[in-house]
């Protein structure tokens, strides 16, 4: 079971990848999407996702727009060009890392 | 799904405001989040008050205030919400806190980033790149063909890339070398096992730079193109095997 410390570093990767795949999303939608796609294994907490999104916004990796939906306002996030670039880099970096870790820790059984 | 009305949204906003979520921008965003949660609880059959209570239990006001603090810090705004807290708001907060104390429940010291239950993550992927760098010409495809030397109709279990002797041959995904040997047809050949289903095979090599048991990363050099075995000219014969069956490698050349 992965510790929060271990996963903290991957939160930005998860968020950038979600936005790269879906274009425009709001916070609640991202939480739902991560829960569904991981079959309930990963549950993003609000206390983690919003500060991370605000940091991405301040760093210029995401753009935001406010849209009135029904009787309330919704804040949508989408990637800036540098956000798209960061998403590609982060995802491939992470895949390489995971594969290398798996090779180190859990060698494939050689018996066919 | 039923949408919350203005009155209900107003009530939720008042709750956030009274409990210290004072920044308009942050509050608007978290308000929408809580409203979404409440609407999904309504869909499960709860009434509005029940849905709101349940929602504020999973996403607590303390957490909202932490979000607000970090957001204000990130955007270099002055965090002066505490000064704006009215006496009534302080009483409300005390009541909420005492409710915690009575129930002998304490909010988590630090919120976890993710609640991880039982993640089954596939760590390996099927072959997903070309075994040669750049645009190598495919001179023979997968399927039935007349064999160039034996001159008989035969199934071609892989694809052939035309390349000069010595061209590096690369692992098409991470895995473990399960064969590095010589065969009269394949010549020098390497087999990499990627996961429980996929293996890839690289034949007609001039040299092999890996041995059985080696772990290889995607894109790592495993040998060089040659013309060993049953071959007329330097080329790479490449196979993808899934659960013991030959697949068309042409469909596994890209991520
Ligand atoms: Zn061939």
| Tens digit of each residue's pLDDT (9 = 90 or more) over B160-173 | 999 999 999 999 99
Judge whether B250 and B138 are in contact, CB under 8 Å: yes
- Detail the DSSP E strand segments found in chain B: 114-116, 137-140, 143-146, 153-156, 159-162, 168-170, 175-183, 187-193, 198-208, 215-216, 221-225, 235-242, 245-247
Q: Is B65 left (phi over 0), alpha (psi -120 to 50) or beta?
A: alpha
How many A from CA of B253 to the centre of ligand 1? 16
A91 CA: distance to closest CA in chain B (Å): 12
pLDDT for residue B199: 95
Name chain B contacts of A73, Cβ cutoff 8 Å: 28, 31-32
Q: How many CB atoms lie within 10 A of CB B36?
A: 22
Q: Does B55 contact chain A (CB < 8 Å)? A: no
Average pLDDT over every residue of A7-29:
89
Average pLDDT over every residue of A81-92:
90
Q: Which residues, numbered 133 to 172 in chain B, qualify as contacts with chain A under a Cβ-Cβ cut-off of 8 Å?
A: none
Judge whether B26 and B72 are in contact, CB under 8 Å: yes
Name chain B contacts of A48, Cβ cutoff 8 Å: 111-114
How far, CA to CA in Å, does B86 sit from each of B19, B22, B60, B62, B83? 10, 11, 20, 17, 8
Q: What is the pLDDT of residues B215-245, one digit of tens each?
A: 888 899 999 999 999 998 999 999 999 999 9
pLDDT for residue B53: 92
Average pLDDT over every residue of A26-46:
85
Strand, helix or coil for residue B78: coil
Name chain A contacts of B75, Cβ cutoff 8 Å: 54, 58
How far, CA to CA in Å, does B4 sit from each of A36, B1, B45, B60, B175? 24, 10, 14, 20, 52
C-alpha triplet B11, B12, B13: angle, nearest 5°: 90
Max Cα distance, chain A (Å)? 62
Domain boundaries, chain B: 6-122, 138-252
Task: Name the band, by pLDDT with cuts 50, 70 and 90, for residue B16.
Answer: very high
Judge whether B194 and B173 are in contact, CB under 8 Å: yes
Strand, helix or coil for residue B246: strand
pLDDT for residue A7: 61
The residue of chain A with its CA nearest to that of B108 is A47
Task: Report d(CA A37, CA A61) in Å as an integer.
Answer: 23
Closest C-alpha to B131, from B111, B156, B158: B158
Find the CB nearest A43 among B5, B33, B115: B115
Asked whether the predicted pLDDT for residue B136 surpasses 80, the reply is: yes
pLDDT for residue B246: 95
Task: Report d(CA A96, CA B124) in Å as an integer.
Answer: 10
Classify residue A69 as exposed, middle or buried by CB count within 10 Å of its CB (0-12, 13-18, 19+): middle
Task: Report d(CA B56, CA B16) in Å as an integer.
Answer: 10
pTM of the shown model = 0.54
Name chain B contacts of A72, Cβ cutoff 8 Å: 4, 9, 28, 31-32, 35
Instruction: Report the CATH architecture of B138-252.
Output: Distorted Sandwich (2.70)
Q: Looking at A31-45, A54-68, B79-93, which range is the least confident one?
A: B79-93
Find the CB nearest B67 among A46, A95, A96: A46
* CATH for A65: 1.10.10.10
% of chain B exceeding 70 in pLDDT: 81
Q: Does B243 contact chain A (CB < 8 Å)? A: no
Task: Name the band, by pLDDT with cuts 50, 70 and 90, for residue A91.
Answer: confident
* More confident position, B173 or B255: B173
Average pLDDT taken over every residue of chain B? 82
Q: What is the pLDDT of residues B138-158, one digit of tens each?
A: 999 999 888 777 778 888 999
The residue of chain A with its CA nearest to that of B13 is A72
Classify residue B251 by its DSSP letter. Answer: G
Q: Are B32 and A72 inside 8 Å of each other by CB?
A: yes
Find the CB nearest B114 among A4, A70, A103: A4
- The total number of structural domains that make up chain A: 1
Q: How many CB atoms lie within 10 A of CB B113?
A: 24
Give the pair of three-digit tokens for residue A72: 């309330």
* More confident position, B51 or B218: B51
Q: What is the pLDDT of residues B74-92, one digit of tens each?
A: 876 434 333 334 444 444 5
Task: Name the band, by pLDDT with cuts 50, 70 and 90, for residue B213.
Answer: confident
Average pLDDT over every residue of B205-210:
96
Task: Report d(CA B74, CA B254) in Å as an integer.
Answer: 39
Asked whether the predicted pLDDT for residue A4 surpasses 70, the reply is: no
Find the CB nearest A44 among B75, B114, B218: B114
* Domain boundaries, position A82: 4-111
Q: Are B116 and A42 inside 8 Å of each other by CB?
A: yes
Give the pair of three-digit tokens for residue B81: 């919400």
């Amino acid at each position: 079971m992965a510790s929060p410390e271990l996963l903290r570093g991957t939160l930005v990767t998860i968020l950038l990848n979600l936005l790269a795949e879906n274009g425009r999303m709001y916070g609640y939608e991202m939480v739902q999407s991560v829960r569904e796609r991981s079959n309930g294994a990963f549950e993003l907490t609000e206390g983690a996702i919003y500060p991370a999104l605000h940091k991405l916004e301040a760093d210029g990796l995401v753009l935001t727009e406010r849209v009135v939906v029904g009787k309330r306002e919704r804040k949508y996030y989408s990637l800036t060009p540098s956000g798209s670039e960061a998403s590609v880099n982060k995802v491939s970096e992470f895949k390489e890392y995971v594969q290398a870790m798996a090779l180190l820790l859990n060698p494939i059984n050689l018996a066919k | 799904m039923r949408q919350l009305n203005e009155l209900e949204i107003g009530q939720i906003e008042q709750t956030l405001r009274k409990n210290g979520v004072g920044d308009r921008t942050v509050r608007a965003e978290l308000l929408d989040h809580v409203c979404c949660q409440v609407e999904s609880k309504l869909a499960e059959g709860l009434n509005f008050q029940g849905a709101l209570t349940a929602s504020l239990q999973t996403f607590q006001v303390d957490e909202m205030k932490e979000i607000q603090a970090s957001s204000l810090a990130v955007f270099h705004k002055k965090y002066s919400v505490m000064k704006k807290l009215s006496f009534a708001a302080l009483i409300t907060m005390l009541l909420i806190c005492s409710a915690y104390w009575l129930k002998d429940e304490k909010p988590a010291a630090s919120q976890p980033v993710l609640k991880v239950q039982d993640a089954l993550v596939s760590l390996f992927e099927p072959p997903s790149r070309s075994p040669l760098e750049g645009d190598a010409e495919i001179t023979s495809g997968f399927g039935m063909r007349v064999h160039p030397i034996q001159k008989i109709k035969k199934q071609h279990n892989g694809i052939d890339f035309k390349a000069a002797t010595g061209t590096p041959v690369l692992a098409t995904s991470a895995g473990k070398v399960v064969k590095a040997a010589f065969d009269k047809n394949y010549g020098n050949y390497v087999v990499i096992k990627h996961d429980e289903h996929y293996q890839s095979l690289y034949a007609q090599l001039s040299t092999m730079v890996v041995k059985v048991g080696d772990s290889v990363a995607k894109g790592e050099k495993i040998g060089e193109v040659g013309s060993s075995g049953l071959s007329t000219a330097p080329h790479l014969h490449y196979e993808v095997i899934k659960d013991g069956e030959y697949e068309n490698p042409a469909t596994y050349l890209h991520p």
